Chains A and B, each alone.
Chain A
Amino acid sequence: MGNNQGPVLLAVESLRKFFGEVRAANDLSLEIAQGQVLSLVGANGAGKSTFLNMLIGLVRPDRGEIRLEGKRITGLPPEQRAKMGIVKTFQLEHVFDDMTVFDNVRTACLSAAGKHYVMFKDVSAEREINERTQHILELFDLATVSQTLVRNLGHGYKKVIDIAMSFAMKPKILLVDEPTSGVGEEEKYRIMELMMNQIRASNLAAIIVEHDLNLVKDLSNETIVMHEGEFIARGAPEEVFSQDKVVEVLVGRGF
């Protein structure tokens, strides 16, 4: 798949996942270069989340291969893949509800620093970790709610916290599953802008699942359309969205 942005970062080959009769992923193949941003669109149930979950190891594929920087990661557990640089944010709320915003991000920073088994040090005294946490909170406009328990915050905040935690992992490729689902119109643009600024600033590769086609057009110059477990089109958004087969599967299905 011709792209001249740099060496291949992530290579996916014939990834398949069937849930009984449902073909959630039917031999999906894809290559992404460093710094390349792709959007992924498709109707409900097309298999977008399943695809991303296979990439990070939360769903085990029936067959197929996933390579990150040439290394086979297909059988590795999620935590190892995250360490290697492939991280995902979630479609639904996945944050640590009974911790403060600061501690949510701090947890990710601790993890990124590999400090899992440190038992005899006070967390609140880890200066480097705290400084990095604070820095990330500021990048994502979260500093003002730093000491609030996450459960007391709205859905939009939780989406941003999820994204901030993923960034804290210093990923090479970020997978973003509907960052703006269930978020109000205005906030939607704010979240997207925050996130895209960071993705571009750190020259990350990314796959972003998004339902709002207007947003998709601004996100990146390349989009993939998914339908019933298959990639049916790939290219510049304007061009792809005018293809008949794409119109057919997107129109009237939540688009």
Chain B
Amino acid sequence: MGANTRTDRTLPSQFDDRLMAAIGLTLLAALIPFFVSEYVRTLIQRCLLWIPPIFGVYFIYSLLRQVHFAQSIFIGLGSYIVAFLAGKYFLTSELLILLPLSLLASVVVAYVLGIFIMRRTGFYFAIMGIAVTMVFWSLVYKMRQLTGGSDGISDIKNPTLLGVQLSEQGFYYICLLISLGLILLMHRILHSPFSMQLKAIRGDLQKAESIGIPVHQMRRLAFVVAGANAGLSGVLLAFLYNYVGPTSFAWEFGAQFVQAAIIGGVNYFVGPIVGAFAFVGLEFLVSTWFPNLWEIVIGVTVALIVVTVGEEGVTGIAKNVLVRAFKGINLKERTYSDGK
């Protein structure tokens, strides 16, 4: 793969094929509501809202080589904040209140959980993520009075922005905007001193702490960054379906973001985006054609990708095809996270 020829100092801001591709795709996404059915639009919105939590998984994996199964905690937090405040105990459905509120809640919860979860690495980190998620899930599931238990909470009012009720299309653009904003933010963060030091921490923890890097604090903060992404998505997902159920807290849901990250390819910055569309698209196709085979299909897909291309994912495959088709195209986004 010629990993040693790359240099981290290449500026990411060149006007190159990647930028053109990004602009093209963004325009396409912006025009979509005019051309597709409501059903397909909702599906695309779902993809867009999956991108941030997958980015969280990608962030933790690519920099720390840890598998983050606990994103659903933050999706759940954001979703239930909406379910309570814009549904059950209606107070407001203002996005400018609910989004910051969910962000704050995610940050606080992630920081506190991070104190425990981020003490562990490798296998134990993954298992603890699952265990903590199960605790959240069962609390929500059991507190029927408050949460509606397995029935969840429906009747969520439509979102408003600055007091103005958003149309379905308007809400689509909000989702697009926030998803894009978070992608750009993650791009910045992945090129920041913060990320370089995280990479150092995973490279050699003892060396990192002995050159003064506050390893535990920084690992905790990485967990917060990942969780914040999911918390914001949680708010919008609740509005998208006007329904919130305890499955948004299920660890299996968190595992789907991991699967999507693997499908997308953890070697590439665009991996989470590709992964979101690939996963949700596949889910859609299988559930329309072979409704009973979903678990098998997704399991086999992930297994096949891991066995054949590993961390390259669908993005890696697509890149190879593109490189062969158009010589010299450069889709590989360099971040501090590559260089396996």
Contact = CB atoms under 8 A, between A and B. Distances in A.
Interface residues of B, number: 39
Given A98-B340, A107-B200, A110-B196, A120 B189 contact: yes
A96 B43 CA distance: 42
B8 A103 contact: yes
Contacts of A119: 188-189, 192, 194-195, 225
Interface in A69-96: 77-80, 82-83, 87-88, 90, 94-96
Contacts of A112: 211-212
Interface in B168-200: 185, 188-189, 191-197, 199-200
Interface in B183-232: 185, 188-189, 191-197, 199-200, 203-204, 206-215, 217-218, 221, 225
Given A120-B192, A149-B4, A95 B214 contact: no
Contacts of A197: none
A169 interface: yes
B330 interface: no
A96 B194 contact: no
Nearest to A118: B193
Nearest to A150: B203
A82 B210 CA distance: 6
Contact of A99 (B10, B200, B214): B200
B281 interface: no
B11 interface: yes
Contacts of B221: 117
Given A99-B203, A120-B188, A149 B3 contact: yes
Contact of A96 (B3, B7, B189, B203): B203
A115 interface: yes
A43 to B, nearest CB: 24
A123 interface: yes
A253 interface: no
Interface in B1-39: 3-4, 7-12
Contacts of B211: 82, 87, 107-108, 111-112, 165-166, 168-169
A99 B213 contact: no
B207 A94 contact: yes
B220 to A, nearest CB: 11
B339 interface: yes
A123 B207 contact: no
Nearest to B189: A119
Contacts, number: 139
Contact of B7 (A95, A147, A162, A165): A147
A242 B210 CA distance: 36
B8 A100 contact: yes
A166 B208 CA distance: 11
B197 A111 contact: yes
Nearest to A168: B211
Interface residues of A, number: 49
Contacts of A129: 193
B336 interface: yes
A76 B192 CA distance: 28
B9 A88 contact: no
Contacts of B195: 119, 123
A106 B210 CA distance: 15
A94 B193 contact: no
B197 A122 contact: no
A136 to B, nearest CB: 12
Contact of A88 (B3, B210, B215): B210
A82 B212 contact: yes
A203 interface: no
A121 interface: yes
A44 interface: no
A104 B207 CA distance: 11
Given A79-B214, A118-B192, A169-B212, A95 B197 contact: no
Contacts of B8: 99-100, 103, 123-124
Interface string B74-110: 0000000000000000000000000000000000000
Given A120-B189, A123-B196, A90 B207 contact: yes
Contacts of A226: none
Interface string A144-188: 000111001000000000100110110000000000000000000
B213 A111 contact: yes
B261 to A, nearest CB: 19
Given A94-B207, A95-B204, A149-B339, A122 B212 contact: no
B339 A79 contact: no
Given A98-B203, A121-B193, A122-B191, A87 B210 contact: yes
B193 A96 contact: no
A99 B193 contact: no
Given A96-B199, A111-B212, A162-B207, 15 more contacts: A78-B206, A90-B210, A94-B207, A96-B208, A99-B203, A107-B197, A107-B208, A108-B212, A110-B196, A116-B194, A117-B194, A119-B188, A121-B192, A122-B188, A129-B193
19 contacts: A79-B209, A79-B210, A82-B212, A99-B8, A99-B196, A99-B200, A100-B8, A107-B208, A112-B212, A116-B213, A116-B218, A117-B221, A120-B185, A120-B189, A122-B188, A126-B193, A129-B193, A152-B4, A166-B211
